Structure 1
Amino acid sequence: MINIVKKEPVFKKIVSILIASIIFVFIIFTVFQYNNLKNIYLEQNEINKRLIGTLVNKYPQDEVDIVKAIQTKDDKYRDLGQSTLDKFGYNEDYSMYKNVNFKEHLKYFLVNNLVVFVILIIIVLFMVFIFVKYVFNKLIKINKDIENIINNNYIVEEYFTQEGIFNRIYSDLNKLSKSLNLKLNNLEREKESIKELVTDISHQLKTPLASLNLYNSLLLEEELEEDEKNEFLQTNQMSINKLHNLIDLLVNISRLEANMINIKKEDKSIKETLNKAINSVKVKASLKNIKVNLDEFEDKIIPHDSKWTEESIFNVLENAVKYSSQNGNINIVVEETISFIKINIQDNGIGIDKGEFNNIFKRFYRSEEVEDIEGSGVGLYLSRKIIESQGGNIVVSSKKGQGSKFSLFLTKV
C-alpha cells in the first residue's frame, strides 16, 4: 500500500490533503477544548471568590488559612468537607449532572466533538469522491483507448514522463499500439511482397514454358527430320534446365524471405568456403576458357554459414562468368580490415552502368542490355540477402566495357 501511494502522484496528493485536513481539524478541536477548560477554570475561580468572600466575611481573623486552603493541596479537612456536602445532598454523582455549570460545559464539549466528527466525515467523503472520480475517469479513458486500438483508430501520444500506475498503463498502451501498427504494416508489406513475388514468378515461368509447349507441339504434330527433332529436343532440354535452376532459386528466395532458412553462423575456414564456390563455377568458366585466379592469402576462421555463404559467392562468380567474354579473367583478392573479411571479385566483362548499381540487386531485375543473355535476375538478389542476414554487405564498382568488381564483406565476429 505504501509503495502504491509513493508511485501514484494522485494518491500522494490525496493522502497529503487528508493528513493536512486531520491536522487542521485537530488544531481546531484543541483550541475548542482549551477554551472549554479555560471556561471551567474561570467558573471555578468565580466559585472560589464567592466561597472565600463568605468565609473571610465571617472569619476575618482566618483569612490566611482560608486562602491557603484553596491554593495548596491539603487533605486535612477534606473528609469534613465531604461529609458536610453529603449532608446537604451534594454528593459527586448527584450534583454533577444537576450542576448548571457542568451541563453547560458538557453541552459545549459534545457540540465540539460533533462538529469535529462531521468535518472529518465530510473531508474523508470528499477525498474518497475525488479519488473514485479520478480512477473512474482514468478507467474510462483506458477503455476508450483499448477500443481505439482494436479499431485501429488510436492516436499514439508522446511517451509519458510522469510517475504513476495510470501513466505507465498509458505508456504501455502507446507501445502496444506502435507494436500492432508495426506488425500490421509488416503484414501489408509482406502481402505486397507476396503479390510481387507471384507476379515475378509467373512472368519468369511463362517464357520457358511457352518454349517447351511450342517445340513439344511441333515434335508431336509435325513430321520432322531427325536433325530437326534433335535440335528441338536440345532446345527443350535447355528450357527444362532453365526451369529447374529458376525453381531452385525461387524456392531459396521464398524460404529466405519467409525466414524458413536458418542462417547458422559457425567458426569455419573462409578459404575452404571460397574454394568450394570457385570449384562449383569452374565448369562454366572452362566452357568460355575463362581463368579464375585466387591470390594467396592467410586463411581466417570466422563465424559464417559456410553452405549459404558459398552459395552467395558462387552466384557472384557465375554472373562474372556469364557477362565476361571468351578467354577472360576473373581475379579474386581477399583483404582483411578491422571488422571484416573483404572478398573482391574482379572480372573484365561488359561492365555495369553506374545508374544500374542499385537495380542489379533487386529481385528479377535485368537490364535491357543483357536480355539476350540467359539469366533470371535473382542471383545477386539472393547473394546480398544471404550476406546481409549474417551482418555483412555487397557493394559493386564498375565501368561500362571495363569489367566489374563485387566486394563481399563478411563480419569477423
Structure 2
Amino acid sequence: MERNWEPTNMNILSNKQIQCFLKRMLTLLIMLLLLGLVFSQIMIEDFKTQILKHDHELAGALLDNEVNPADITAAFIATKTQQDISAGQELLSETGYSTSPNNRSLEEVHHLLIKYRLIIFISIAVFGALLLTAFFLYFKYQQKDIDRSVSVISSFMDGNTSVRMESEEEGGLSKLYGAINTIATSLNAHIDDEKRTKEFLKATLTDVSHQLKTPLASMKMCIEIIQTEAENELLIKRFSTKAALALEHMEILIQSLLKITKLDAGTIPLHKTKQNVAILLHEIVTDFEIRMEQEHKTITLSGSDIFLLCDKDWMIEAIGNVIKNGLDHMEEYGHINISWTRTPMLTKIVIQDNGNGIHPADIHHIFKRFYRSRFSKDTQGIGLGLSLAKSIVEAHNGTISVNSTSEKGSTFTFEFITLTDL
C-alpha cells in the first residue's frame, strides 16, 4: 500500500532541541542587556565623578584668586542660558581651551573612554565566545545524534534488522527517525516474507521432486518394457494401463500443487456469494454416490436452512477433500455424518466419520503437505487433499480443526465468522 508523506507544518518552536538552544541564546542576551545596563550606570557615575572633580578644581582655583565665595556659588547654582554658554565658549576659545586630546583638562575623560572601550571590547569578546560555545555544543549534539543514526542505519544494512532509531525528544529529527523506523519495519517485513517465500519454494521443490520421482520411474519402466516387448500385446496393454495411472497421478499432483500455491500467494480471487449450506452439501455428496454404493458406505446430512458467504467452487473442493479423506480411511459399511449450525458469531460445519481414526502421532501433521501417515492403509493418496482444504478455508478467513480417536473415527470442524448486516 502506497503511503504519501506530507511535509510537516510543524512550528519550529515545538522542537525541544531548538527550544533549549533558543533558551540559552535568550539567557545570553538577557545577561548582555543586564551587563550593558550595569556598565552604562557605572560610566554615568564615573562621568559624574569626573565632572564634580572638575567643578571642585575650578571652584578651588577661583577661591585662590580671591573671588568672592558667594559669587562662585551663584555661578555654579544659577541656571545657565544659551547666551551664557556661547559667551563661555568664546572666552575659552580665545585662551586656547578646546576639546583637543592634547587638552590637559580633558585627559581624565579620555582615560575613561579608553577604559570603557576596553571593557566593551572584552564584554563583546566574552559574549561572542559564549555564543560560539552555545552554537558548538548545539551542533556537536546534533552531529552526535546524526552519527548514532548513521551507525544504526549501517548496522541495519549489515543485516541486523532488529535495530531501530531511538529518540525520546520531539521535533524534526524525531519525526525523521520515526519515518525511518517505519521504513525499516516495512523492509524487515519484506525481508521476512522473502525468506519465508524462499523456504517455501525450497520445501515445495523438494517435495515435488520426491513425489514425482516414483510415478516418473514407473512410467520410464513401463515405456522400456513396452519398447522391448513390442510383440506381446497383453504385456503392452498391462503396462500401458500402469503408465496411464502414473500419468494421472502426476496430473493430480501438479494440479493440486498449483491450486495450493496460488491460494497461498493470494493470486486467485475468491468470488464469494451467499450459498445455502444444505444445497451446497447435497451437491457435494452427490459426487460420491457411485463410490458409496460400490463400497457400501453412507453419508447423512442434518442441519437448518442457513447461508454461508463463500466461493462455491473452492468450498466444494475443500469439503469434498475432507469427505474423500473420510471415505478413504474407513472400512466397508462405514458412515459419515455431516451437520451444520449457525450462531451469532460462527457458522460451523462438522464432518464426523466412524473410520479408522488418526493415530496420535499423526494428529498434528495431517494438514501438512505431502504428509502420509506410516499407520495409514491408504497407499494411493498424494497427501495434498487436507492441506488444500486448509488453504481454502483460511482464504475464506475460516479455520479447520480435527479431533480423532484411533480405530473409532475422526471429526473435522469448519468454522467461519458469521457476517451480519448492520
Report whether the alignment pairs 1:136 with 2:140.
no
Contact 2:359 2:375 in 1 (8 A): no
| Other-structure match for 2:132 | 125
How far apart, CA to CA, are the structure 2 residues paired with 1:159 and 1:274?
56
Q: 2:84 aligned with 1:84, yes or no?
A: no
Q: 1:34 to 1:61 in 2, by over 3 A?
A: closer
> Paired residue for 1:6?
14
> Helix, strand or coil for the counterpart of 1:369?
coil
| Pairwise CA distance, 1:393 | 0.8
In the superposition, the TM-score normalised over structure 1's length comes to: 0.85
Q: Which moved more, 1:239-248 or 1:343-352?
A: 239-248
- Alignment of structure 1 residues 179-258 onto 2, 5 Å: 179-222=186-229, 230-258=237-265
Q: Taking structure 1 as reference, are residues 86 and 370 closer, same or farther at Cα in structure 2, changes over 3 Å only?
A: same
Q: Secondary structure at the match of 1:368?
A: coil
Paired residues for 1:336-375 under 5 Å: 336-370=342-376, 372-375=378-381
2:6 aligned residue: none
Q: Give 3-state SS (helix, strand or coil) of 2:366's partner.
A: helix
Question: 2: CA distance between counterparts of 1:251 and 1:62?
Answer: 126
Do the aligned partners of 1:390 and 1:411 also contact (CA within 8 Å) in 2? no
Q: Is the 8 Å Cα contact of residues 14 and 170 (structure 2) preserved in structure 1?
A: no
Structure 1 position 346, deviation (Å): 0.9
Q: 1:50 to 1:197 in 2, by over 3 A?
A: same
1:15 aligns with 2:30: no
Give distance in 2, aligned partners of 1:60 and 1:206.
Answer: 136
Q: Tell me, yes or no, if the aligned pair for 1:25 and 1:119 is still in contact at 8 Å.
A: no
Whole-Å Cα distance in 1 between the matches of residues 351 and 294 of structure 2? 19
Q: Tell me whether 46-55 or 119-128 shows the greater mean CA deviation.
A: 46-55
CA 1:160/1:60 → structure 2, altered by over 3 Å: closer, same or farther? closer
Alignment CA distance shift 1:155-1:409 (3 Å)? closer
Of 321-330 and 271-280, deviating more is: 271-280
Distance 1:412 1:370, change over 3 A: same
Find the partner of 2:331 among 325, 345, 370.
Answer: 325
8 Å contact from structure 1 (residues 96, 102) kept in 2: no
Amino acid at match of 2:361: G
The 5 Å alignment of 1:68-79 reads 68-69=77-78, 74-75=79-80, 77-79=81-83
**Matched letter for residue 254 of structure 2:** I
Q: 1:159 to 1:334 in 2, by over 3 A?
A: farther
Q: In the alignment, residue 87 of structure 1 is paired with which amino acid?
A: L
| Structure 2 portions without partners, runs of 5+ | 1-8
- The answer (yes or no) to whether the contact 2:346–2:415 under 8 Å persists in 1 is yes
Higher helix share: 1
Work out the percentage of aligned pairs sharing the same amino acid.
Answer: 24
Structure 2 vs 1, CA of residues 40 and 410 (structure 1 numbering), >3 Å: closer, same or farther? Answer: same
Closer/same/farther in 2, CA of residues 256 and 289 from structure 1, 3 Å limit: same
For residue 336 of structure 1, report the CA deviation from its aligned partner.
Answer: 1.6
- Count of residues in Structure 1 that have an aligned counterpart in Structure 2: 405
State yes or no: 1:152 paired with 2:152: no
Deviations 1:35-92 (A, max 9, x none): 11001112222334455566787345557755642xxxx45x441342133222189x
Moved more, 165-174 or 241-250: 165-174
Matches for 1:103-114 after TM superposition, within 5 Å: 103-114=110-121
